[in-house]
Every structure is written in structure tokens, then in C-alpha cells.
Structure 1
Amino acid sequence: MAMSSLTILTLLALCHSSIAFRKFPEGFTFGVATAAHQIEGAWNVSGKSENVWDRLSHSRPEMIADGTNGDIACDSYNRYMEDVEELTYLGVDFYRFSLSWARILPTGRLDVVNPDGIRYYNDLLDALAENNIEPLVTLFHWDLPQALQDLGGWANPKMIHYFRDYADLCFKEFGTKIKSWITFNEPYEICEDAYGDEKKAPAVDSHGVGCYLCSDTLLKAHAEAYHLYNETYRPVQNGRIMISINSIWYEPSDPESAEQVALAEVANQFKFGWFAHPIFTSDGGYPSVMVDNVARQSAAEGLLKSRLEQFDAYWIQRIKGTSDFLGINHYTTHLITGAGVDPIAKSPSWLKDIGAVTTMEVGGDSASEWLRVVPTGFANLLRWCKSSYNDPPIYITENGFSDYGTLLDYGRIKYFNDYLNEILNVIYDDGVKVLGYTAWTLMDNFEWRAGFSERFGLYYVNITDPARPRKPKLSAEYFKELCATRELPKDPRFFEPSFFRTECRCFFLILIVWYVSE
């Protein structure tokens, strides 16, 4: 019996994710990302002052997995031209990097402006321009000047004004060369992991309290920088400005469980919605489920008011709409297994406030305990953002995979290929407005508390060599072809033989079934 066209299409759909090599839309852009503290080094030279990561890695070296620090890192302060050569070789459209606040303003305030810091970033920007690479610049990527942390850091509302002053100087000094700005990178990590726990510097661990003080200050500081740019600099510089929000995507371990489905939505509101809801919804303010949960937990703790202070009417309006695009950093998916207090949750804490138990037992492994490979979770997050935040234009500002430093990094290539394929799926099948993709990261760098024990780079960096030589991995060749062709590469050398054989088997199985049916 002849096989119907519908049946053939069904078989093709079964292998869709593995053999469909589709082209990215016209105008879609590709880039790579780094961050100042992770690559620059030169931690105490040419006028740069100490930041919170310098303090943590020097005073508590046991908190860094391999005992390394960012003192030299990849030595990009001295070798930035090598970085530009790598970017040019890859053929990227843009380079996302961050400015070191402590290199530009050693005290964190405007009383001392470091001319060498201004010179360094101007030199980098000029080198990028000469090679037709657009800069996408992050104002704050976790490296707060220690002088400001000594005043309370992001738990101090005065930081709103200090950040606005810093942003003002950066817009003034670099704005004619930069058309795309990011205010904050991953506010969740800044607030929960640094002020609600000890996972990130400054490791305050004011669980359930400091994290919410931080988010109040940070969102207001973001809004002030946005309005400053929008009203003063955009008319002259004609750029754009956004925030990059990170999120693990939460899914129910049992999709048939109504309780788990509901709890997964709560967890996503707590994680992503914490910072997206005030900016990207018409209502503004924190998600209602977050407000309710924290208020209920606070009352149960005997507090007279909630640990999560809501914004007043002025700030709700001031924060709403303060991002030209939705920047998304995404790496992985975790599962919700049921209601209750997560076993690792402190009391009080952001995690306890969610009221759900989570697990990482899903997907494939990486070198990072927290990073599970779940491409479909990425697609689900993007669809959720489309429906939750009024169909915003989206830039993927980080996405990447960790291993232990191999040059034949097939795992990273498969990760990129599968996650990029999911981006294509949601663009073409769901109409999600994804406009660009940023790979993390250009080269192996200081991965915060993991040090150099986990490697995310397209280029291998030998940190035992004072010259910090960079060597392209196979993923660099993959990404180079991606940038050149604007479609997912088909070249079998990029895939492990077993992976490619699976691709071929699936394809030829369809051909055989079709031939027999005819």
C-alpha cells in the first residue's frame, strides 16, 4: 500500500529536530559574550580599584573551586587585540562585553574618574569598529566596586543614584561608539545569589531579606538609567537600552499533575517574573503570586510586614516599559516535583517562599552541576515569554555549555545546535520575535566560584602559561560557519560519529520507508 504524503510528513516531523537544517531569518544577528572581571585581569593596575570579586577571591580563596582568581584571568586588558582577532575570525556581528565600574570610577563615585579606564575601553571600541563588529555593552556584570559594597552595596537605596551617575558618565564617554546597552546582567544572580546566599560575591547571605532589598534598589536603578538614556542621550546617540534577565526554566516532573503544573508557573514567576513582570507587563510591579507568597510566609514568621516591599504607584509607573528589548540568558531546565519546602531552602529564603520542591534530574550532563541539557525547555521558556510579556522582541544575550576544556568539544557543538534549532522552531512555528543570539563565551575564563574548573569558551585558554595563549576549539569552527552561512551547519566533522550516524539513520529510514511505499 502506498504511503500517504501525510504519513511521510509525520515521519519527517519525528526526525525534525535532528535533520532539519533551517536558515535564520533575514536580519538575525550572532555574537559572543564575555564579562570584564572574567577576562580582563590587571586587577590593581592603572588606577583600577578593588571590586567585590577581588575581595572574595583574595580573602576567602577556599570559596573558589580551583583556588584561582581574576587577577590575571585571560589578560584581556593587555591582549584585547587578540580578542578582536578571534572575533574577526569568527565573523560575529556583535561582541557583548562589560565595563568594569572599578576601572572607570575607583571609588564607585564621580569624585575620581580614571583616565586609563576610559582610554582602555575607547581603544577596544575603536578596534571593534575597525573590524565592523558592533559592541553590545553591559554596564554592570556583577563586579561592584568594593568601596560601594562597604556602604551596603545593592541593599543600600543610595545605589540608585550612584548607578545613575556611573551610567551617565559611560553614556557621555562612550555613547557615540555604542548603540546597544544592557544595564544589568542577570539581576537574579546579583540579588538572590549574592545578597540572599553566599553563591556569588559579596556573599552577604541575608537570605529572604537582603535579596528583596537588592531587587528594590536594582530595578529602580535600572529605571533611572533607562530614563536618563531615553531622555538625554537617545535623541543624540540614537541607541537602544535593555536589561538581561536570566532564568532556569521550571517544568513539572509529571505534566499530568495539576499541582505540579501550577507550581512550575509559580517558580517561573519567582525566577524570571521577579524582574520581568515590573518592566514588561501592563500592570507592573512584582508578580501577584510572589507578593502573596512572601506576605503569607512573612506573617507566619511573626513579621508585621512582608519581607518583599511592593513598589508604590510612582515606581510602578517609573519602572514599567524600561527596556527596548527583552534580553534572556538561558542555559538549563529544572523540574518541580511537588509542593513543600525544598530540602536545601534556608528559613526564611526566596526558595522557601516559592513553596515547591525542585530537582535537577533531567536532561544530559555538563561540567556544571546546575547545567542540564534540555533544549525543549528553552523553547518552552521563549513561548512563555511571548505570551506573558506582550510578545516582546527578544535577544538571547547568553547561552552556552560547560566542559573540562577539550579542543574537540562535540558536547558544546551539539548543545549549540540543539538549542539553536529550538530557537528556529519558536521563530517559525510560534512567531516568537527572537532577533539575535549570543554564545557564552568567547574564551575559557574565570567562571566565578568555579574558577577555571569549568570551561565555556569557543577558545581554549592555557592559564598556566603567562602568555595566556588562546587556541580555537572545534566549536569555534562550528560558530564561524554558523555566522557565515546563517544556517545550522551540516558539516559532519562538527558532530561525534555516533551522533552523525543517528542523524543519517533517521534520514535514510525515511527514504527507505518512502521508497517501499511507492
Structure 2
Amino acid sequence: METAKGFISIHLPLPLLLVWIVIACLVESASGGPAGELHRSQFPPSFLFGTATSSFQIEGAYLQGNKSLSNWDVFSHIPGKIEDGSNADVTDNHYNLFLEDVKLMKDLGVNAYRFSISWSRLLPKGRFGEVNPDGVEFYSQLIDALLERGITPFATLNHYDIPQLLEDRYGSWLSTEIQLDFAFFAETCFKEFGDRVRYWVTFNEPNVFIYDGYLIGTYPPSRCSEPFGNCTAGDSRLEPYVATHNLLLAHAAAVNIYRKKYQEKQGGMIGIVMSAPWYEPYSDTPADRLAAERVNAFNFAWFVDPLVFGDYPPEMRQVLGERLPIFTPEEKIKLAAKLDFIGINHYTVNYAMDCMFSPCPSPYSFGEAAVYFTGEKDGVYIGDPTAMSTFFVVPRGIKEMVMYTKKRYNNMPMFITENGYAQATASKEVLLNDTKRIEYQQSYLQSLSDAIREGADVRGYFVWSLLDNFEWLHGYLVRFGLYYVDFNTLERTPKLSALWYKDFLSGTGVSLHQPVTTSKAEVMAS
């Protein structure tokens, strides 16, 4: 097999094909009409259905095309940081195989693709250097290939990775300098690609990389303080809020540039994407009910409230007081109404347990929110467990999260920018026969359609992920892809879920499976 020029062999093994035929026949015979099925027609005709990826997780080619090292390139090469000792130097080699991957999307029948742009590939030295023509060419070719096949590009500017140079030079998100660098990077993207890209995301899950990078220290730059982690530097009581403050102002700067210079001519939208698990009270006590409200504010509204209302959530002000940074009147004006849409990355539901007025496990899962979250109560999981220890199959959660966002932000346009099922690494045959992922996706889509029917302005849904890829701290131990990737040969093979998604998008009705509640004892026994 030749990987340098991008030839991919795609086939469906005969045993898997026979399994799929049996499933399809059962679905057709047992569907019992529209009331028992999930249909593409339950969503608006203009709805975007796609897949999602990120540059660091799939591109590989980490030193190819004059790219500089990113913070994750450096971090993933530090022994002990990644569970399986791996890195993303090659991963899916999408940088060289992107044309074949676009063909996979075309075959699926998706009408949109969410990807991220590597800051290190486009601006290897940040604003202190030249725009990299190799980076411009790569993303231009990808965007053109998508458009030629009727697939809408949905571009993310930052999905965790930044040039390591910016960390070394001034401490990245802890410095106001990052606002200037991000604005420069954003405008470079608007200028080079905005004539063809209509959907822009400034940041993917800033609540994750701020929390993990500056509170508990498990992501780069690995800064934290007691009781979190084993960091050599940092202040968990201060730095997460400083980094967030700079990030929000960087977002506002990018949006101001887009709206003043590009949006009217290019006709696009710009928003932010948040990690958005739903939290339910561990018990019906007033303390746990308040804990669930508080953790949603500390996790989600922390970033979204300032970009809609111009200030941090009142739930956070009440807890943090003066330690939460203050926006000046000028900054509030810059921040308010700086979203055209909100992206929701939703996978799971967890219980929220109060730690402010009640004893509970320590350290708290959300620091000074004083909330502990868990997926287990009285020996029973909140939903079917997955390969991610905090991810459970609870379909109602996607509707709950959407309706919370609808209510809090006056039904601002929303996209489900990630939703997917985690498989533990196993034999190829097991991974291809991913019926659990099919059950997950169809039940979550049904719940999402219920939210839309109740008036939520949701405009798209993206499966995470197109391909099995490098899954951050887990390396290659966890797989989310619709396509199985053999990381020795880089061969892509469609899983059953890819065929299911293709059938769904083509208008074929799909029967629904009810999720089951699994006890912890049953899982341990298996």
C-alpha cells in the first residue's frame, strides 16, 4: 500500500457485510412505520449533517510542509504523558491522504465537514513570522475538494494546539500578548479561506484545555497547584481565570475583525464550541440541585455568558468574588453579542454532588465550584458505560443541554458540533461490528429531534469522528471513528456505523433501540 501519495484501500469484509445485511433486514421488517423509526425527514431540509475531526488528531506530518512544533507535539513526546506512549507524528496521515478522506465523506452522504486549522502549520512563528504558503495550499486544497463534492466546510481556528513558540516566548494564554497573536491568526484565515468558508469557530472546548492545562495540569502547559496533579509550576486558584480572560478577549478581537472587514462580503457566521456534558443532581436535596446548576455555570456559562451578556455568570461571581477578573466597561462592549451561534460538544450525562455544604470526595471535580461529579449512584451507572470512564450513554442529555442553552441564551442558533461513542481498542472484527455506536447515535439523534420539535434552533449535527485517530491523553487506546484505521498500514475500513449513517442520510428509516441501565457489578463481571 502506498501512503505517501494517498492511496487507501477500502473494503467491507464478507462476514461484516453479512451482519449488516441481517441488521438491515431486521430493521426493515421490525420498523412498524414512522412511529418506530428515526428519519432524516425529522430534521429541517437545510440541516447540516457531517463528521468532525481536528488537525492535531488526524493530520500527522508534524514536521512536513514547514510546520513548526505545536505545544501538543512537544507534550506528546514527553515520556509518561500519553497512556500508550504514542504520539501524533503520523496518526491518520490526513495531510497526505486528505483527498481520499474527502471521498469517504462523499460516500457517506454528509453535507458538511468540521475540521480545524493548525496554527503551527499556517503561522509557524505566530505573528512574528511569515504566513506559510505550504499551509495555505494544504487547507485551500482541502476546502476546494470539499466544495467540489458538495460538502460545506466548517472551520475551527483553535482545537487545543498552538505554536510552542508562543508558550516559550510569553506564556501563551497567561499573557495579553496572546490576544494579538490569535487576532492575527484569525484574520489570516479569514483572508485566505473566508471566500469559501461560511462557518467559523474561534475555539473548540476552551473549558477543557483551560481546566486541564491550568487547573489540574494534565494538558499542556501542565500548570497547577495543590491539591491537583504533580505540576512544577502554576496556581490553580488564579491561572485558569487569567487564561480564560485572555481567551475571551482574543475571541472578541477575532470576531470584531470578522464583522468589520469580512462578514458582510463573505456572508458567514462565527461562534464558539463548548464541551457540554449535562449534569443532574446526585440527589433531590436542595444542595445537590444547586450543585448541578453551579457546575453548568462553571463549565459552560463561564465562557458563553461573557460573549452574550458581556460578563461572567452570577453563579461564579457569588463563589469567587474578587478573584474572578473584572471586565472594564470598554471590554464589556467588545465582548457582548460576540456570537452568531453556539457549538455544543455533547457526549454524556453525569451526576453532580454538592461539596460546598456537604462532605464529598476530594479533590473536587470542578475546583472552586465545589462540585463532585460521577456517573454512578448506589452501584448503578447513570447509563451504559463506554471506553471513556466519564462517558455514559444517556440520550436524554443532548435534549437537556440544548434546552438549557435555548433558555439561557434566548434560543441562539446552535450546532451539535461533536457527538460520538467511544470504543476501547480491540480486534479489528470487534471494532468494525460497532452496533453500540449505532444504538448510541440513533438514540441521541432522536432526542435531538425532540428538542428541535420543541422549538430549539439547532442547525446541524456532526459525528465525532470521521476516523479513528489520536485521542489526546489516551493515544490510540480509544476509538471514536466511523471508519476503522489500521495505524500500521493507514488502511481505512467502514464500520457498521458508517453504513448506518449513510443509510440514515439517504432517507432510510432506522428502527430505534432503547438504552439499558447497567450496574457496576455487571460491568466488572464482564
Shared fold (TM-score, shorter chain, > 0.5): yes
The bucket for the TM-score relative to the shorter chain is: 0.7 to 0.9
The residue aligned with 2:301 is 273
Corresponding position of 1:408: 433
What are the superposed Cα offsets for residues 358-377 of structure 1, whole Å, 9 maximum, x if unpaired?
Answer: 22212111011121111112
The letter of the residue matching 1:285 is: D
Q: Is the 8 A contact 1:37 1:143 kept in 2?
A: yes
Alignment-derived partner of residue 419 in structure 2: 399
Q: Could you tell me which amino acid in structure 2 is paired with residue 264 of structure 1?
A: A
* Counterparts of 2:323 and 2:35, CA distance in 1: 47
CA drift at 1:404: 2.4
Equivalent position amino acid for 1:288 in 2: P
Distance of aligned partners of 1:373 and 1:112 in 2 relative to their CA distance in 1, 3 Å threshold: same
Question: 2 CA distance for matches of 1:133 and 1:452?
Answer: 28
Q: Deviations over 1:378-419 (max 9, x none)?
A: 211111111111111111111111002510111111111111
Output one character per residue of 1:316-349: Cα deviation in whole Å (capped at 9) or x when no partner.
Answer: 2211111111111111111023333763427xxx
Aligned residue number for residue 51 of structure 2: 32
Q: 2:324 aligns with which of 308, 323, 328?
A: 308
Q: Which residue of 2 aligns with 1:12?
A: none
C-alpha separation in 2, matches of 1:53 and 1:357? 28
Distance, in Å, in 2 between the alignment partners of 1:18 and 1:403 is: 30
Contact 2:353 2:360 in 1 (8 A): no
Q: Are the aligned partners of 1:342 and 1:355 in contact in 2 as well (CA < 8 Å)? A: no
Distance 2:346 2:33 in 1: 23
Retained in 1: the 8 A contact 2:56–2:161? yes
Q: Give the aligned residue type for 1:404.
A: A
Shift of 1:272: 0.7
Corresponding residue for 1:482?
504
Structure 1 counterpart of 2:204: 185
**Farther-moved stretch of structure 1 (330-339 vs 444-453):** 330-339
Question: What secondary structure, in the 3-state scheme, does the structure 2 residue paired with 1:358 have?
Answer: strand
- The match for 2:367 is 352
Match of 1:435 in 2: 459
The one-letter code sitting in structure 1 at the alignment partner of 2:434 is D
1:61 aligns with 2:87: no
Tell me, in whole angstroms, the C-alpha distance in 2 between the residues paired with 1:471 and 1:462: 8
SS of 2:38's partner is coil
Asked if structure 2 preserves the Cα contact closer than 8 Å seen for 1:110 and 1:165, the reply is no
Equivalence for 2:220: 201
Q: Which of the residues 141, 154, 159 maps onto 1:141?
A: 159
Q: Does 1:317 align with 2:333?
A: yes
Cross-structure match for 1:505: none
- Relative to the length of structure 1, the TM-score reads 0.85
Correspondence for 1:420: 445
TM-score (norm 2): 0.84
Q: Does 1:220 align with 2:235?
A: no
Aligned to 2:195: 176
Give per-residue Cα distances to partners, 1:421-440, cap 9 Å, x unaligned: 11011111x21111110110
User: 1:24 and 1:335 mapped to 2: Cα distance?
Assistant: 30
Matched, 1:452 2:467: no
Q: CA deviation at 1:198?
A: 2.1
CA separation of 1:121 and 1:227: change in aligned 2, threshold 3 A: same
User: Quick one: structure 1 residues 16 and 124, their matched pair in 2 at CA, closer, same or farther if it must change by over 3 Å?
Assistant: same
Q: 2-side partners of 1:454 and 1:61: how far apart?
A: 19
Return structure 1 stretches of 4+ with deviation > 6 angstroms: 15-18
Aligned pairs for 1:490-501 (under 5 A) are: 490=511
| Structure 2 CA distance for partners of 1:317 and 1:86, relative to 1, 3 Å | same
Larger Rg: 1
Alignment partners' CA distance in 2, 1:280 and 1:337: 28
Contact 2:252-2:334 within 8 A present in 1 as well: yes
Q: Distance in 1 between matches of 2:201 and 2:33?
A: 35
SS of equivalent to 2:416: strand
Identify if the C-alpha distance between structure 1 residues 220 and 16 changes in structure 2 by more than 3 Å, giving closer, same or farther. Answer: farther
Q: Alpha carbons of 1:317 and 1:470: their partners in 2 closer, same or farther (altered >3 Å)?
A: same
Deviations 1:472-492 (A, max 9, x none): 00000111112221x7523x9
Aligned-CA RMSD value: 2.1
Q: State the partner residue of 1:93.
A: 111
User: CA–CA distance in 2 between the matches of 1:131 and 1:21?
Assistant: 26
Paired residue secondary structure (1:83): helix
Counterparts of 1:342 and 1:393, CA distance in 2 = 37
- The Cα of 1:80 is off from its aligned counterpart by 0.5
Aligned to 2:486: 462
SS of the residue corresponding to residue 103 of structure 1 reads helix
1:290 aligns with 2:316: yes
| C-alpha contact 2:374 2:390 (8 A) present in aligned 1 | no
Overall identity of the aligned pairs, in %: 38
What is the letter of the counterpart of residue 460 of structure 1?
Answer: Y
1:335 maps to which of 351, 356, 367 = 351
* Structure 1 residues 12-70: Cα deviation after superposition (integer angstroms, max 9, x where no partner): xxx99993535222322201000000000010122000001111111x23111111111
Q: Matches of 1:232 and 1:40 in 2, distance apart?
A: 30
8 Å contact kept, 1:53–1:202: no
Alignment gaps of 5+ in structure 2: 1-31, 225-233, 377-381, 426-430, 517-526
Q: What SS does structure 2 have at the residue aligned with 1:95?
A: strand
Alignment partner of 1:369 out of 363, 369, 389: 389
Q: What is the deviation of 1:202?
A: 2.4
